[in-house]
Amino acid sequence: MTAAKIVDKTLRSPAALAEAGLIPSDRIASLHKVAAQYAVAITPSIAELIDPLDPEDPIARQFVPDPAECDAKAEERADPIGDDACSPVDGVVHRYPDRVLLKLVHVCPVYCRFCFRREMVGPRGKALSREGLDTALAYIRAHPEIWEVILTGGDPLVLSPRRLRAVARELSTIGHVKIVRVHTRVPVASPERVTGDLVRVLKASGKTTYVVLHANHPRELTSAALTACARFIDAGIPMLSQTVLLRGVNDNAETLGQLMRRLVESRIKPYYLHHPDLAPGTSHLRATFAEGQTLMRALRGRLSGLCQPTYVLDIPGGAGKVPVGPQYLAGVADDGNGQMRYAIEDVNGDRHTYPPEGLMLRTSAR
């Protein structure tokens, strides 16, 4: 197999991947079934990152389809985190009291092979209609407990600045909404989309806007991607990141640590490390809880607190996210004198008593 060719357009089929040199031609037939079921799209920016000579390339594992995707397990489900169960109107997911997802569009610049919405996104998915958007905004207006609106999809930044400006203006008229959060892959997948006009329209009047970048490997943080992110940050829009723990991509402390440090160096605060969801055909990419907890212990012991994401599981069925990181409180006991003493593990696994033996608690008269 030869090195990849220069790609000047998004690749959307196994044949296009082969023509670009990203897969050998003898794999085309085996990927037709995958492509018929789940959307395929690899942008020029992502194609440049793939090493076709490396069968274990971590970028290819995220974006190049794999026959293993046709092997759905019994525990996997089409809607793994229960979006449908928490959707009162089309386009809105209201899982937590103070915030909602607003799903504006069902397409993305690239399609991740582990996507938890892989049954819902792609060319067959439909964007929220004008009437649907009006209904969604009416729902948000009618619920004063909604403090934050999260724009998602699909990827909301595939929409034109004109359409995003219209949404931002509508949200700016809803007094109880104080935070607008945008989740996106665009700065990595299509950094050229992050123009000055796009950045300006995301700043809803009277609201605080955050942009959350989805990045899983340090190689994704190219100079073009970081320049795109800097446009948001320099305009006063803080950035966070989310990462999915993926087998063969970032399931080692060195790679994950490099990613978190590069994010922080780029003024992007690591936010979530997601345990992979039970999306159909993704078991070959799922790490275990034990592996994730071991990685988090390694990060805690060697990296700044700025580099620590929260390791979370989105509980299947719609119950929401919970932290599933390692525990450092290892036990508790009464010393017989009414004093509770705790066994605390440090990052090296050594145990310590808290309060330490012999520590006197004193109060001073005033």
Which residues does the annotation mark as catalytic?
A: 95-96, 99, 108, 112, 115, 117, 277, 314, 321
Which pair of structure tokens corresponds to residue 157? 């930044």
Q: What is the DSSP letter of 271?
A: E
Question: Can you tell me whether residue 33 is helix, strand or coil?
Answer: helix
Please name every residue paired with 150 in a beta bridge, in sequence order, or none if there are none: 101, 181
Which pair of structure tokens corresponds to residue 43? 């942008």
Find the helix packing angle between 289-302 and 253-265, rounded to 10°. 50
CA distances from 138 to 151, 173, 323 (A): 16, 11, 32
Q: How far is CA 256 from its chain centroid? A: 14
DSSP string, 110-178: S--TT-TTTTT-STTS-PPPHHHHHHHHHHHHT-TT--EEEEESS-GGGS-HHHHHHHHHHHHT-TT--
